[in-house]
Every structure is written in C-alpha cells, then in structure tokens.
A and B are shown apart, each in its own frame.
Chain A
Amino acid sequence: MQKMPIVFDCDPGHDDAVALFMAVGSERFDLRGITCVPGNNLLDKVSQNALKLTEFLGLDIPVVAGCPKPLAQECHPAVSVHGASGMEGPHLPLPKKQLAKVNAIDFLAQQIREAGGELTIVAVGPLTNIATLLLAYPELKGDIKRICIMGGSAEGGNVTPVAEFNIWHDPEAARIVFASGVPITMCGLDVTHRLYITEPEVEEIRALGRVGRLAAELFDYYKMYHGEGGVHNVIPHDAVAVCWLLDPEMFYTRSLHVEVDAGSGLSRGCTQVFAISRDMGDDSVKAEVVFDGDRDKFVQMFKHCIANLG
C-alpha cells in the first residue's frame, strides 16, 4: 500500500512525542519532515525535543524550527503540564543532529509541491506555522490534501472554559487556517478526552520494548496533570490526530462549520462549531469535526505501532 506523505508540525510535548511514535510505528506514513512551533514550550526547547526524538527513533529527516511566536501575542509555555524542558520526565541525550538551516515555511511549501497534491499536514501544536504557510503561499492551498489538527473543542476548553490550548495559543493563526478552505480534520478535546489510556495499559506499553519504555516514562510524568482521586488515566491528545488518518472509520466525525474567535473577549481562542451557518451562507467553509472514537481500538493500535518500533 502506498504510504501517505505527511509533515508533522508540532511542539514536543509529551503527547506530540507519542503521536510521533504512533506515526512512525504504523509504517503507513512517508514522514517528510518535522516543523516545530512554540506552544507547550518556547521554540528552542520544543525544537531540541524534536531533535532528541528523531535521534532516538533513528530517523534521518529534516527537523526545522518555525515561527518563534504567535501572530499577534506572546508565547505562553504550558510549563505546568509539560515541565521546564517541554518534555520533562525521561532523560534523552543531547542531540548530535542539528536543525535544518532552511526557512520552515519554504520547507513546507517545497514538501507540498513535491508531493503533487498528496501531502497531509499533521498539525498537533498551535497553528502559527500553518497560517504563515497559507499566507505566504496562497497559491498552494489547493495542493494540500488535508490538515489534520489536534486542537479546538466544540463543547468546552482546557486552558479557559471555552478554549483549547493550541487554538488559544494563537487564535489569529487558527482563524486563518479554519477559514482557508483547505480540507481540515479537527480532533479536539471532544474526542481526545474519550480516548484515554489506563494505568494498566501504560504498564503493557512499558513492556513493549525500548520505545514502549520511553512512552511509558513520558506518561509517568504527563499523567500527573491528568486524573483525579488517585486514578491517573493518560490522554495522549496528539496521537488521536495520527490515529484518525490511520483509520477514520473508527471515529464519529461530522462535517460542520468551524469559526475561530480571535477577538479580545472572554471567548478568545474558542472554536465555534455549528451546523446551520447564520450570516455565512451554506457554501461557507466546513471542517471534519471528530466527536468520538473506539477507545479500545485506539489503545490496541497505539500498542501495535509502539511494538513495531522495538
């Protein structure tokens, strides 16, 4: 079967890391490169984490640092979730590899052109790089097959009551991306909160091998943010976006209008999801919004991909 060409735009990030493991372990993707964006932590930190991960996985692909800050505001690193390094927990050696000395936006454009209409962008961090790509290369919009996003929420936020972190970190960028007309899949909190991994399942993952051990160590730290009353399920948000591309049939997805609030009110960063467009007219842009999925199957697939990596 033909491998799906993708670029992974991310801010590693514990869940970015395990999403990357899932993508590589699935053996279904042709991963053309990784572009980094600040979100979980500042650009230099997340870029270093990305380099560490590619070295750990033995991947020889370009890792490119993108925009250093959101379009219209300052960075807000999620240190309480991901720690000081952005990927706190396991120790990974300093990378020997260096970041590719190329403009990340030019890199993305080149990948789009080379894939001849087949490139999917997996965007699991704030959408700063993606928006800048669409602004700087408007003529390539029609050549992007899909942007599969981890971000947003129809029903409620995490960083604010109405906003999910990735969208909240750069609402202007998100608004530009969702209004662009490029096919979009939105894997928001609605679905990711349902696809958790239990503590016993994390132990099964730990036993799968070298990569399983690393994933479990990442979860050991990351689970401290999730869970209440002694129960620490882990929610690997970004891995859901990868899983949707592997098997969309196991998800409950609906085509809906999504408008991002990039205003200055209390709802800043909210993805407004609605069925009947009011002033916009029905030909206005829709996204594939994912609401639910088969949790058991998700965990099974996750384990399968991790086991493949040894």
Chain B
Amino acid sequence: MDKRPFIIDCDPGIDDAVAIFLAASCDAFDIRAITSVAGNVDIDLTTRNALDLCHVVGLDTIVARGAARPMMVEPKISVGAHGATGLGTVVLERSPQAEDGRHAWDVIYDEAVKAAGELEIIAMGPLTNLGILLTKYPDAPRYIKKITIMGGSRVYGNSCAYGEYNVWADPLASDIVFRSDIPMAMVGLETIFRAKLTSSDWEDLFAEKNHISEITREILRHKTERGEGIMDRITARSDDPSPLLCDCMTVACVVDPSIAKFERRYVCVETAEGPSRGRTIIDWQNRSGHSRNCEVAVSVDRAGFKAVMQKMFAHYSK
C-alpha cells in the first residue's frame, strides 16, 4: 500500500501534541514535515514543542519554523490556556534534531512539488503559513491534493475566540485558503463538542500504560484542571470536565473517515473587524450560488473516535 504523503501544520499546543501522537502512529501516513506556526503559544515555543514531540514519538521528519505572527492582524495568544510552555506541566526530553533552515511555506511548497500532486495537509493552528504559501507560490494549488483544517464552527462560537481561534487569529490567511480552489475539509468546534470523550472514556484509554499514554495523561491534566468553556459543556450536554481535543479529533477524521459525516458546502470567512470577525460562514441552504468549496464535518461518532484513540495507545505499547 502506498503511504499517503502528509504535512502537519500546527501550533503545539496541548491538543496539537496528542494529534501528533495520533498522526505518527498511523501506518498509512508518510509525514513529510511538521511545520510550526504561532498560535496557542509563540513561535519559539511551538517550534520547540514540535521538535520535542517528534522526538518523543520517534517520528523522523522535517520540522520547519513558520510565521511568528498573523499576516495582517495583531497576534492574540491565549495566555495560560496551554501553560507556560504550551504543553501544560509536561517537560519533554529535548530533541537533538535541529529545525530545517527553510521557512515552513518553502518546505510545504518543495514537498508538494516533490509529491507531484499527492500531498495532503492537516492544519491545526492559525492558517498563516498556508496564507503565505499561497501568496508566494500562486501555482501551489496545483500540487496540493487536500487541506483538512481544525477550524471554524457550525453555528456559534463567535463570541469567544477559542474554538474558532484558528480562523479568528488570522482571518486574512483563512480567507485566502478557503478561496484557493484546493479541496478542503473542515472539522469545526461544535461538531467536536458533540463527540467529546468523557472522563470515563479517558480512564479506559489510559489503562493502556506506556510512555505516550503517560505523557498524554499529564498534558491533559492541565486542560482538565483549568476547566473547559461553558459552551463546550452545554453543547456536549454534559458537565463532565473532560478535556476537549479538537486537533486530535480532526486527525482522527483523516485517519478513519468512517467515523465522521461530511457535507459539502460553500464556506467563506468573515474578515471584517467586528464581533463576527473570524466566523466561518457556511451556506447550509446552498442559496449563495457559489460553488461548494468545503467538506464540513457535521458529526463524529464518539465510539469511533474512542476506537481510533485506543488503537493509537496500543500502537505505542509495542
């Protein structure tokens, strides 16, 4: 079986971390690079974390530094949400690997050309690197098979930056990506809320004891102790303070598409300043007349997601 070439663009970040663990465990993925972007924490930290996370899972790949700030707006980092280092209280062994000397957008383009149109991208942070890629290389869309983003929201989530954070943090870059004609899939906040694993689900998963499950447990402790937002729990119809892993669920939908239902719609981004900035506007009723540019995840099966996570932890016991 031919492996699928991927690049993961991310801002580790607690849930990026577990998403990287998941992606690295998938035999069908040939991860050509991890590219970092500023988002959850600053670019020095996200790049450092990306290197160290690759090291801890034994993922041998390029790690390239991306954008330190959004294309046009001022950066807004969620202070404290991911701890001082971006990984909660966890301190990872320092990777001996150095960053690739190239910018993230140059690595993505080089790999896309090399993969001759087969490269897929999973983007789990603000889309700045992809915005710069598409602006610097107008022919890049020819070489990219698909972009799956963790971003946006089906209905609400506008009033708080988190959840739509990735799109809100760089609306110009997000707009450029959605208008790029590259096939897109979007796993948004509300869909993720509904498939959130419970505390008891996590206890089941952590029964598989290994290095990665221990690190995951420790990373997630920071999220749980801090507490999730009110809207998360209302949508999940649960007061269970179990951690919400948006990026991880996004990768799971790529690892096993059978766990998710997608519907193709026209999606655009509100770039205007104001309370709706960063909103992903989804034309559910197909009234706009625009072509449907995005597969929007409308539901994820919780049991299916749990099974994917179970398989991941089992992989690391080997």
Contact = CB atoms under 8 A, between A and B. Distances in A.
Contacts of B119: none
B311 interface: no
B225 interface: no
Nearest to A137: B103
Contacts of A135: 67, 71, 131-132, 135-136
Interface string A113-139: 000000000000000000010011110
A136 B175 contact: no
A22 interface: no
B18 interface: no
B29 to A, nearest CB: 28
Interface string B97-128: 00000010110000000000000000000000
Given A71-B172, A72-B172, A136 B68 contact: no
Interface SS, A side: loop
Interface string B162-196: 00000000001001100000000000000000000
B136 A136 contact: yes
Contact of B135 (A71, A262, A263): A71
A176 B273 contact: no
A67 interface: yes
Given A71-B172, A132-B135, A136-B132, A262 B105 contact: no
B273 A103 contact: no
A137 B132 CA distance: 10
Given A138-B68, A176-B71, A72 B175 contact: yes
A103 B106 CA distance: 12
Interface in B128-145: 131-132, 135-138
A105 B272 contact: no
Contacts of A259: none
Given A72-B172, A72-B175, A72-B271, A67 B135 contact: yes
A298 B105 CA distance: 43
A175 interface: yes
A138 B67 CA distance: 9
A77 interface: no
A295 B131 CA distance: 43
Contacts of A264: 271-272
Interface residues of B, number: 19
A172 interface: yes
B231 interface: no
A103 B137 contact: yes
Nearest to A133: B136
B303 interface: no
A103 B67 CA distance: 20
A68 interface: yes
Nearest to A69: B138
A193 to B, nearest CB: 29
Interface in B255-305: 271-273
Interface residues on A, range: 10 to 19
B303 to A, nearest CB: 42
A128 to B, nearest CB: 8
A105 B72 contact: no
Interface string A188-203: 0000000000000000
A263 B272 contact: yes
B169 to A, nearest CB: 15
A136 B72 contact: no
A52 to B, nearest CB: 23
Contacts of B172: 71-72, 172
Interface in A198-244: none
A103 B272 contact: no
B132 A263 contact: no
A105 to B, nearest CB: 5
B176 A103 contact: no
Nearest to A132: B135
A132 B132 CA distance: 7
A175 B137 contact: no
Interface string A68-81: 11011000000000
Contacts of B175: 72
A138 to B, nearest CB: 7
A227 B138 CA distance: 39
A72 B176 contact: yes
Contacts of B136: 103, 105, 132, 135-136
A149 to B, nearest CB: 18
Nearest to A265: B272
B72 to A, nearest CB: 6
A136 B176 contact: no
Given A71-B71, A103-B136, A136-B136, 16 more contacts: A69-B138, A71-B135, A71-B176, A72-B172, A72-B175, A72-B176, A132-B132, A135-B132, A136-B103, A136-B135, A137-B103, A138-B68, A172-B72, A172-B172, A175-B72, A176-B72
Interface of B: 67-68, 71-72, 103, 105-106, 131-132, 135-138, 172, 175-176, 271-273
Q: Which 9 A-B pairs have the closest CB atoms?
A: A264-B272, A136-B136, A135-B132, A132-B135, A105-B136, A68-B138, A132-B136, A176-B72, A172-B72
